[in-house]
Amino acid sequence: MTVFRIILIPVFIILLAVPWNMGSVTLLGTGISTTYLIAAIVFIVASLTDLLDGRIARGRHLVTNFGKFADPLADKMLVMTAFIFLVELGKAPAWVVAIIVCRELAVTGLRLLIVEQNGTVMAAAWPGKIKTNTQMFAIIFLLLNNIGFSNWHIPFGEILLYICLFFTLYSGIEYFINGREAFKDSSQE
């Protein structure tokens, strides 16, 4: 499923990078580009494969080196790609996306350092899980022009984006506080 998710990333990119001119559709009173709708469906399918893959791996105790490497990489690639395109499409501020991308890279580096030093994987805490979920939903609602909320002029995708930003910063700080031992040199111990 991880490989399938990685394969969906170029499909997502092609949908958003090529000017398809497929018109638009109206769903729940919201006008949505057909291309953005298809891209959102691809993003949702990719996100659901991550959820399903995790449940299957935990339920069957299937932990592989490939999974430990590829699963978080696929997640980061999917989310970062989506956020970069949201900036390109004028649907997300670049400064917010830059903070999110920098945090993802920093925490990934910290996790690798901790694994290298003591062989343990730093598990995601609740703030990180909230960050991930708000990222996914923000991307979907931003691609779909706040579907279900646009009639009331509620910028739901933008609200989720700023909630995501808060939890991005909060969880990033928490990771570095909890992982501060990784920065102590062995000669100092």
Q: The domain containing residue 122 runs over which residues?
A: 2-180
Q: Does 92 map to a domain?
A: yes
Average pLDDT for residues 90-107, to the nearest whole number? 97
- Checking if the pLDDT of 7 tops 90, the result is yes
Q: Does 88 map to a domain?
A: yes
Q: Does 189 map to a domain?
A: no
Half-sphere exposure of residue 187: CA atoms within 13 angstroms, side-chain side: 0
Q: Does 15 map to a domain?
A: yes
- What number of other Cβ atoms are within 10 A of residue 137's Cβ? 17
Q: Does 185 map to a domain?
A: no
C-alpha 119/C-alpha 42 separation (Å) is 35
Average pLDDT for residues 132-141, to the nearest whole number? 96
- Checking if the pLDDT of 87 tops 60, the result is yes
- Checking if the pLDDT of 57 tops 80, the result is no
Q: Does 36 map to a domain?
A: yes
Q: 97 or 21, which is more confident?
A: 97
Chain centroid to CA 43: how far? 10
Q: Does 187 map to a domain?
A: no
| pLDDT score for 186 | 56
Instruction: Record the pTM.
Output: 0.89
Number of domains within the chain: 1
pLDDT > 70: percent of the chain? 98
CATH of residue 112's domain is: 1.20.120.1760
